[in-house]
């Protein structure tokens, strides 16, 4: 399959003066998989439907391989789309469903039969061609929808919450399967999801959207480890956010103090910054007992906290902590021994610390 490059240029969609998608520009590399991630109503589905041609943009352009397709009608765009509820034609068999797109392209019967067979093999449903969609499980329906979208050899594959309707176990295995298939075929893919795990697992690049705008674009690691805003920091996983003031600078290292008397040593603070927001991921926070010893003073990235609640989650425990000034702090810690989590009492004072490299300065709100 030849891979296409997709480019969105200042794409906007307004509904009665409300912007659903606002000035979105994005280049999607040929053969890559991009996930549009965001809460419901952030404009990600509208974006996807504009690429498909199901929604016409208020302004801006969509280019596939540098060719402007903004005004090309849906049925001439050569796009494979997977709908949230699969949208299989209930009155057609699995084979007829898959052959539909070939039929619309005027492909001869013999050739079509061969390609449908190939597509069924691809999604491991070779023996299901004669069944009706209602006779298939959710996962099988999903794979038929995928075969139907891929058999037309689309320039771009669009996935609208592709695995949202599957139960958890099936969803995880389908994520891996779908990703492997996409890599093998090399088809440029845009996926819409509100599920951060799905985006992190499947996408080469993640596009976080909020209120119709792009919030941050980057690889899974970039987005997770260096969130550009408070919104990204809290939408993808959990974050502990500290509002602090720059205390002193020492070369590349900056010392920031917060209201609770916590001092943070941080890299990469802008030279003119005074008030900054620092995020620390819960899994970076290490919880230890005080064991009667007096709390250390003026050690960066270390503070005394009080246990509010400990939730045992199997291989990890979630620690809900409270600092002196009332700020809440979350820590995720792997459970090494059998009863370590249960051993903490509510209200017990503990010492928490984390590595300097876990401090990340957030550029904007």
Partner 1 sequence: MSSDSQALAPASSRLVERIALRLTLPAVLLAVPILVFLAIFFFYPAINLLFFSLLTQDAKGVVGPPHTLAHYTRFFEVDLYLRVFWNTLRISLVTSAFAIVLGYPVAIVMSRSGPIVSRTIALIVIAPLIVSVVVRSYGWQLILVNSPNGLLNWALMSIGIISEPLAILYSETAVVIGSLHVFFPMMVLPLASALGKIDPNLEDCARTLGAPWWKVFLRVTLPLSVPGLVAGFTLVFSLTAGSFVTPVILGGTTATMLGNLIEQQIFVVYDWPFGAAIAMVLVLVVFAINTLSMRLLEGRRFRSVS
Task: For partner 1, give the closer residue by CB, 81 or 208.
Answer: 81
Of 84, 225, 234, 257, the one binding partner 1 (CB under 8 A) is 84
87 contacts partner 1 (rule: CB under 8 A): yes
Q: Is 54 in the site for partner 1 (CB under 8 A)?
A: yes
Residue 138 CB, nearest distance to partner 1 (Å)?
6
Q: Which of residues 97-116 bind partner 1 (CB under 8 A)?
A: 100-101, 104-105
Under a CB-based contact definition with an 8 Å cutoff, are residues 315 and 253 in contact?
no
Site for partner 1 in 14-53 (CB under 8 A): 52-53
Sheet strands side by side (includes 286-289): 286-289, 349-353, 302-312, 316-322, 328-334
Closest separation in Å from C-beta 85 to partner 1? 6
Which tokens sit at 264? 């943070």
Query: Using the rule CB under 8 A, is 85 a contact of partner 1?
Result: yes
Beta strand 302-312 with 316-322 is antiparallel
Contact between residue 267 and residue 252 where contact means Cβ atoms under 8 Å apart:
yes
Rg of the chain over all Cα atoms, to the nearest angstrom: 25
d(CA 282, CA 249): 26
Q: How far is the CB of 252 from partner 1 (least distance, A)?
A: 44
The CA-based angle 160-234-84, given to 5 degrees, is 10
Cβ at position 168, least distance to partner 1 in Å: 8
Number of residues lying near partner 1 (CB under 8 A):
38
Candidate list 2, 67, 71, 74; residue touching partner 1; CB under 8 A? 74
DSSP run (H or E) holding 332: strand 328-334
Is 91 a binding residue for partner 1 by CB under 8 A? The answer is yes
Residues pairing with 68 in the sheet: 63
Q: Out of 9, 118, 132, 179, which residue is the one contacting partner 1 (CB under 8 A)?
A: 132
> Quick one: which segment of 7-15, 58-66, 79-87, 344-352 binds partner 1 (CB under 8 A)?
79-87
Give the CA distances from residue 217 to residues 63, 87, 213, 311, in Å, rounded to whole numbers and listed in that order: 19, 30, 11, 33
Residue 300 lies near partner 1 (rule: CB under 8 A): no
Asked if 133 interacts with partner 1 (CB under 8 A), we say yes
274 scored as a contact of partner 1 (CB under 8 A): no
In the complex with partner 1, the residue whose CB is nearer, 144 or 331, is 144
* Stretch 145-174 residues interacting with partner 1 (CB under 8 A): 148-149, 152, 158, 161, 164-168
Is there binding between residue 344 and partner 1 (CB under 8 A)? no
Contacts of 101 (CB under 8 A, 6+ apart): 80, 148, 149, 151, 152
Looking at beta carbons only, is 76 or 274 nearer to partner 1? 76
C-alpha distance from residue 9 to each of 68, 191, 322 (Å):
10, 18, 46
**Quick one: tokens of 232?**
């990204």
Tell me how far apart the alpha carbons of residues 334 and 318 are, in angstroms, rounded to a whole number: 9
Contacts with partner 1, residue ranges (CB under 8 A)? 52-54, 73-81, 83-85, 87-91, 100-101, 104-105, 132-134, 138, 148-149, 152, 158, 161, 164-168
């Amino acid at each position: 399959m030849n891979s296409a490059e997709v480019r969105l240029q200042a794409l906007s969609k307004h509904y009665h003066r409300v912007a659903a998608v606002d000035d979105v520009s994005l280049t999607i590399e040929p053969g890559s998989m991009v996930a549009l991630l965001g809460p419901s109503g952030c404009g990600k589905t509208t974006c996807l439907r504009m690429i498909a041609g199901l929604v016409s943009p208020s302004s801006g352009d969509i280019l596939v391989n540098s060719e402007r397709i903004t005004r090309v009608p849906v049925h001439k765009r050569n796009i494979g789309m997977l709908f949230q509820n699969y949208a299989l034609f209930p009155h057609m068999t699995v084979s007829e469903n898959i052959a539909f797109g070939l039929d619309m392209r005027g492909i001869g019967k013999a050739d079509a039969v061969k390609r449908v067979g190939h597509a069924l093999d691809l999604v491991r449903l070779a023996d299901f061609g004669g069944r009706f969609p209602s006779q298939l499980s959710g996962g099988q329906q999903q794979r038929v929808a995928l075969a139907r979208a891929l058999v037309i050899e689309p320039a771009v594959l669009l996935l609208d919450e592709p695995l949202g309707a599957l139960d958890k176990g099936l969803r995880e295995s389908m994520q891996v399967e779908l990703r492997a298939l996409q890599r093998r075929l090399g088809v440029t893919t845009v996926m819409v999801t509100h599920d951060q795990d799905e985006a992190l697992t499947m996408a080469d690049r993640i596009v976080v959207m909020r209120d119709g705008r792009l919030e941050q674009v980057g690889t899974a690691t970039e987005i997770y480890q260096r969130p550009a805003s408070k919104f990204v920091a809290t939408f993808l996983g959990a974050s502990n956010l500290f509002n602090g003031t720059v205390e002193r600078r020492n070369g590349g290292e900056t010392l920031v103090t917060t209201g609770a008397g916590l001092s943070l040593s941080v890299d990469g603070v802008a030279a003119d910054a005074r008030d900054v927001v620092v995020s620390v991921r819960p899994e970076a926070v290490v919880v230890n007992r005080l064991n009667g010893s007096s709390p250390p003073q003026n050690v960066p990235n270390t503070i005394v906290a009080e246990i509010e609640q400990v939730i045992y989650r199997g291989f990890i425990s979630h620690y809900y902590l409270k600092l002196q000034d009332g700020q809440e702090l979350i820590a995720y810690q792997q459970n090494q021994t059998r009863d370590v989590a249960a051993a903490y009492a509510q209200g017990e004072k503990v010492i928490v610390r984390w590595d300097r490299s876990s401090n990340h300065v957030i550029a904007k709100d």
